[in-house]
Amino acid sequence: MALGIIVCGAAGRMGRTLINLVAQSPQTKLAGAVEAAGLANIGRDAGEVAGLGTLHVPIVDSLEKAIRPDAVTLDFTNAAAAVAHLRTAVQHRAPIVIGSTGYSQAEQAELERLAPQTRTVVAPNMSVGINVLLQLVRQAASLLGDDFDPEIVEIHHRMKVDAPSGTALHLGRAVAGALGRDFEKCAVYGRQGLVGQRRAHEIGMMTLRGGDAVGDHTVIFAGLGERLELTHRSQSRDCLARGALRAALWLIDQPPGRYSMADVLGLPR
């Protein structure tokens, strides 16, 4: 029996990609579509908005109107909406997969409090490749140690509103953890002017924005006389959407708790 999927942010770029993949997969079916109240697509058929033709699933203006405990909600909206959707999922004991990023400290604290109360996957990037990169980055940092300087560079499309990306921050924390450092204390976000020599234990975080770049992330380990670079490039949003559907299919059979893509993929944390 196909698993019901509810897409939040249904009319956005990621939402339309998700709806297309849900409709194509024999393992899933679209069970609901949600957009922010007041937007022009409210009431339209989600399939038509996604360019598929009629799916007989109208876009509604509240997750409350679509949520079901036997369907998995996928959230790729924004930080405030994601926390609100998680709150609704907890109230209905429904599973939810969250890929939104850019949380404030208060929003992050609320996410941490709510996520274990229902079946929740939270991941800043759900592509399989990025999650393998996280494992490689941890291993490289552990092996190279303090003799190599870590720098992280990411580029996304001009419309992305948060910086650095959630994925870049996740990579930075992975490096810091492997090196026994406190990421919040050693992260340096860009450099300008006479900043002096690079200090020991810094982790550089560089952000680029432009065009329609889906998302490229490079972790550089710069040593004396050599440099190691590990790069992941997203060529389309399909890789993120496929990862989200994989997470949904896995999550439906899990007990309540907060999970990561490492859990979904069976990778070490």
Cα 44–Cα 47–Cα 50 angle in degrees, nearest 5: 95
pLDDT in tens, 226-243: 999 999 999 988 999 999
Q: Does 1 score more than 90 pLDDT?
A: no
**Which residues carry out catalysis?**
156, 160
CATH of domain 128-234: 3.30.360.10
Asked whether 21 and 242 are in contact (CB, 8 A), the reply is yes
- Pick the range with the lowest mean pLDDT from 4-8, 153-157, 163-167, 206-210: 163-167
Q: What are the angstrom distances between the C-alpha of 233 and each of 6, 110, 154, 161?
A: 27, 31, 10, 19
Please measure the distance between the N-terminal and C-terminal CA atoms of the chain and give it in whole angstroms.
Answer: 31
* CA gap 31, 97 in Å, rounded: 15
Question: Domain coordinates of the chain in residue numbers?
Answer: 3-122+237-265, 128-234
Decide if pLDDT at 124 tops 90.
no
Q: What's phi and psi for 78, nearest 5 deg? A: -145, 170
Enter the pTM of the model: 0.84
Distance, CA of 258 to CA of 30 (rounded, Å):
24
pLDDT of residue 44: 96
- The tokens describing 168, both together, are 């870049």
Q: How far apart are CA 30 and CA 20, in angstroms?
A: 9
What the block records as the tokens of 217 is 């992330």
Answer yes or no: are the C-beta atoms of 66 and 7 closer than 8 Å. no
Within 13 Å of residue 29, how many CA atoms lie on the same side as its CB? 9
- Which pLDDT band holds residue 269 (cuts at 50, 70, 90)? confident
H/E element, 34: strand 28-34
Domain 3-122+237-265 homologous superfamily, CATH: NAD(P)-binding Rossmann-like Domain (3.40.50.720)
Q: Write down the H helix ranges in 145-182.
A: 166-179
The pLDDT assigned to 224 comes to 98
